[in-house]
Structure 1
Amino acid sequence: MTASGHQRTALASVLAALLLVLLKLGTGVATGSLGLISAGIESSGDVVAATLTLLAVRLGGRPADEDHPYGHRRAENLAALGEAAILAGGGVFIVVQAVGALVGGAGDFQAHWYVFAVIGVAIAIDVSRIAVSLRGAVRYESAALRSNAFHFGADMAGSVAVLGGLLLVAAGVRSGDALAALVVAGIIFAAAARLIHENALVLMDTTPEQAHAQVLEAVAAAAPEAEIQRLRVRESGGRYFADIVVGVSPTQRVVEGHETADAIEDAVHAALPQSDVVVHVEPGGGELPLREQVLAIALTPREVCEVHDVTVFDHDGGAIVTLHVKFDRDAPLAEAHRVANDLEDRLREIPEVIEARTHLEPLEPTRRRAGDVEGDDPLTADIEELARTLTGEGPRDVRLLRTRAGLVVLLDVTVDPGLSLRDAHDIAGRFEAALHARHPDVVEVVVHTEPHG
């Protein structure tokens, strides 16, 4: 949004309102036309209202700060309420004068040709400034400029009513001028009521229904697997703020949850351009497969560092669950045992689980000192032989590391690309078992399987 263009639009409205005051009020006073005087008074309110709008868009264009983290754009909604108050006050004055004229009898007002010329020019100016304000309201997403457009529309309708009154006077209906003034008052009251209603809803943080529906649709399209737990949308100065809480699978990785949040933000921004979107991701409470339920429960305690080898055994219409749980290697056994017992109790609360068993393990250090094995180690020949026996080809990228715990073997082997992952893993497992049997000093074997070619 370019604040200077925003302000230029509001400034043009002030200048146009001043011109209309001079035309309507001056001609009305000179000729004695109550309709033109009323329209002039209404346009005088326009000058004050448009000035308020100019000040509001200057304030609303300021960036967010510590005291106003959502920005200053609600100043435009306050300005719109100020415009409504000015309109209502002008309408009351017009009604009093028009009723007085009707009760006391019409004056000697004559509808001369120049009066028609003035009202024609006024209508032309109203049309042009309505177009300018609407264009600016759309371009700059301004509530104040949008309310100005409605205000100017009411002004033009009033000018048309005055023109009708002038035509009645010219036709010999002497009360036509006062009747036109009452019509102008009715239009003013309607416009004021609309401004108050629309901007009060915004200031009260009433949910904008259309924007709320657009956000719902965007979230559903961007993350169909996510569960919308809370959605709050509000409008401020033509800009939308969306606060979204979604539930995802408890076993989803942090990076996956972040990607889900990014996808939702992008989708909402596409639906509501320049909106401010905050997405919070929480573990979902929907139905999950049993294994994911077990993982979600087991990873909840802060003392648990890692969970692996989750196995579910179907037994007597229920399920027996086993899992390996890793704790800090220096954690007291009593503390680890307490956490594990609590986990088992929580797992048994799952309706289909009849028994739960945990295996406690220390978390291995993530970094260990290692050095390459120098020279022609006899282990290399056995690695070559085992690889050819199991896969038909020699190993690739073999590396032997010596650690304090023992030898570590790293290698790649190629297998038939038509094999399933399970079959390839079985080959790697047989390789590891055979190598451990031949070389007890090998503490770890990492076999990477890849397809031929």
Structure 2
Amino acid sequence: MPADPRTPDPTASDARSGSGGRGDIAGRRRTALLSVGAAVVLVVLKLTTGLITGSLGLLAEAAHSGADLVAALLTLFAVSVAVKPPDEQHQFGHGKAEHLAALAESAFLILVSGWLATTAIERLSSPGSHEIDATWWAIAVILLVIAIDLTRMIASHRAAERFGSPALAANALHFAGDLSGSIAVLLGMIGVALGWPEADAVAALLVAVLVIAAAIRLLRGSIDVLMDRADQRSVIAVRQAVAAMERPADVRRLRTRHAAGRNFVDVVIAVRADAGLELAHARADEVEDAIEQALPNTDVVVHVEPVAREGGVRETATAAALRVARVHEVHNVDVLSLPGGGEEVTLHVKVAPELSLEEGHEIAERVEREIRGAVASVRGVTTHIEPLRPPTPARAVDEDDGEFERASVDAAVRQATGRGPSAIEMRDTERGRVVLVTILLPAGCTVGDAHREAGRIEEAVRERCPWLADVLVHTEPCPDPDPDR
């Protein structure tokens, strides 16, 4: 029996995409056309043989195949519609057309099977009221029908697995029911040939029960998808993917749905309020990539919500300033504790250099209002506006060209730390030469101690080379406490 079309595998690969390429579209249409052709042949065979022999089981199967013919035509139409790309009126695509077809198909099956079950019960309640001619050629026709049912069931099941199509999966499920019903009719015909006339009605009733059960199952699955019922396997896969990230995201809300082999995921994550737009967008991209790797062929929308960063007045004031439009950078944030309680905040804010003084002043006032609204204890805010500098052109300095500066840096670092620098790099800019130094300090020292050590080294280098435009000391932890290493 094929897999339940109500529960497609959310982790299926792109090869099973409900919106695949031209090969997928042609394959799905080819499978649907095969189903239509087979249904026509079966209706003719079953109806003709049933009318000649008087077999209710064959007539039941003919009606069943007739419903399947209508359903196959619906499937062909739905597949043609479902593969259309999103447009202005259908911005999420047309994938649900397949589920609408499956819903209509289940309704057809329930109606036809109800009529067959009623007729079968009437014949069982009136034994001998209908004569059945169980000839050898009728049995041969049923065997041919079984072969056709088996072939198209396998073809539809493989196509449904390959393309992730619920409509084709519904067809495969019905063809499996047809196969079971055809076997039941064969047994009923054999029973009639052996002298039990009621066997045909029993077979017809069994076919009706099988078809109704399959139709109800299909009906539930179609309703679940059309009502956007969440697939718990998708939810678990998304949460596991986010938790497995190098920096797991704080998921505040998660919504998933599935239609025509495609997953749709909406997730809300929390990001520090002072992260900035670019960093927040990069964080959303990381989450989106992780989900798409776990759930291929998924439409992912990540919404970012700012959260207050844990910390004191300085962190809150920084986050508040960065929320103001056209503020590019915030630095040198200081908090002054005033007598009698309360704080005063001073900070530097960088804006575009082409702004007028009036525009810059308006931005500064908005920053001050934003900080006062975020921190109730702040009595005053003083903002220093600076122009945002464009990237500075620079070139690397050759080893021979910076020999004196390198020797001076090496001496200053050895004097301060007892070991040589981990790296020395130099850049020539329009402002002058810039020295970049990397030093190793004990891993257990505090950030404050590391900052003071870096400051002393910068001063020592400037004393030896006062012409340098800038000296930047980068500190890294060294797990080896031996300074002679």
**TM-score, with length taken from structure 2:** 0.75
Instruction: Note closer, same or farther for the CA distance 1:248–1:138 as it changes in structure 2 (3 Å cut).
Output: same
For residues 368 and 31 of structure 1, what CA distance do their matches in structure 2 show?
91
Q: What percent of counterpart residues are identical?
A: 35
- The CA RMSD measured in Å over matched residues stands at 3.8
Q: Which structure has the greater CA radius of gyration?
A: 1
Retained in 2: the 8 A contact 1:76–1:237? Answer: yes
- CA deviation profile, 1:30-83 (whole Å, cap 9, x unmatched): 111111111111011111111111111111111111221111121111111121
For residues 391 and 256 of structure 2, what CA distance do their matches in structure 1 show?
51
After superposition, residues 202-351 of structure 1 pair within 5 angstroms as 202-222=225-245, 224-284=247-307, 288-290=310-312, 292-302=315-325, 305-310=328-333, 323-326=346-349, 330-331=357-358, 339=366, 342=369, 345-346=372-373, 348-349=375-376
1:16 aligns with 2:41: no
Instruction: Note closer, same or farther for the CA distance 1:79–1:448 as it changes in structure 2 (3 Å cut).
Output: same
Q: Match for residue 378 of structure 1?
A: none
Out of 74, 82, 94, the residue aligned to residue 104 of structure 2 is 82
Q: Match for residue 4 of structure 1?
A: 26
Query: What runs of 5+ residues in structure 2 fail to find an aligned partner?
Result: 1-19, 394-404, 443-449, 476-485
Q: Match for residue 121 of structure 1?
A: 144
Out of 409, 424, 427, the residue aligned to residue 454 of structure 2 is 424
After superposition, residues 376-387 of structure 1 pair within 5 angstroms as none
Instruction: Note closer, same or farther for the CA distance 1:252–1:112 as it changes in structure 2 (3 Å cut).
Output: same
After TM superposition, the structure 1 stretch with the greater mean CA deviation from structure 2, 230-239 or 328-337, is: 328-337
| SS across alignment from 1:288 | coil
For residues 450 and 222 of structure 1, what CA distance do their matches in structure 2 show?
28
Retained in 1: the 8 A contact 2:61–2:182? Answer: yes
Displacement, 1:435? 10
For residues 257 and 426 of structure 2, what CA distance do their matches in structure 1 show?
59
**TM-score, with length taken from structure 1:** 0.79
> How many residue pairs end up in the alignment?
422
| SS across alignment from 2:387 | coil
For residues 368 and 183 of structure 1, what CA distance do their matches in structure 2 show?
80
Instruction: Note closer, same or farther for the CA distance 1:196–1:348 as it changes in structure 2 (3 Å cut).
Output: same
Retained in 1: the 8 A contact 2:242–2:291? Answer: yes
For residues 388 and 212 of structure 1, what CA distance do their matches in structure 2 show?
56
Query: What runs of 5+ residues in structure 1 fail to find an aligned partner?
Result: 371-382, 402-407
Instruction: Note closer, same or farther for the CA distance 1:305–1:330 as it changes in structure 2 (3 Å cut).
Output: farther
Instruction: Note closer, same or farther for the CA distance 1:396–1:297 as it changes in structure 2 (3 Å cut).
Output: closer
Q: Match for residue 380 of structure 1?
A: none
After TM superposition, the structure 1 stretch with the greater mean CA deviation from structure 2, 419-428 or 205-214, is: 419-428
1:94 aligns with 2:90: no
Displacement, 1:397? 5.8
After TM superposition, the structure 1 stretch with the greater mean CA deviation from structure 2, 291-300 or 190-199, is: 291-300
Q: Match for residue 14 of structure 2?
A: none
Out of 461, 471, 485, the residue aligned to residue 447 of structure 1 is 471
Displacement, 1:11? 0.9
Displacement, 1:203? 0.9
Displacement, 1:206? 1.4
After TM superposition, the structure 1 stretch with the greater mean CA deviation from structure 2, 91-100 or 36-45, is: 91-100
For residues 306 and 209 of structure 2, what CA distance do their matches in structure 1 show?
56
Give the aligned residue type for 2:255.
R
Instruction: Note closer, same or farther for the CA distance 1:344–1:241 as it changes in structure 2 (3 Å cut).
Output: closer
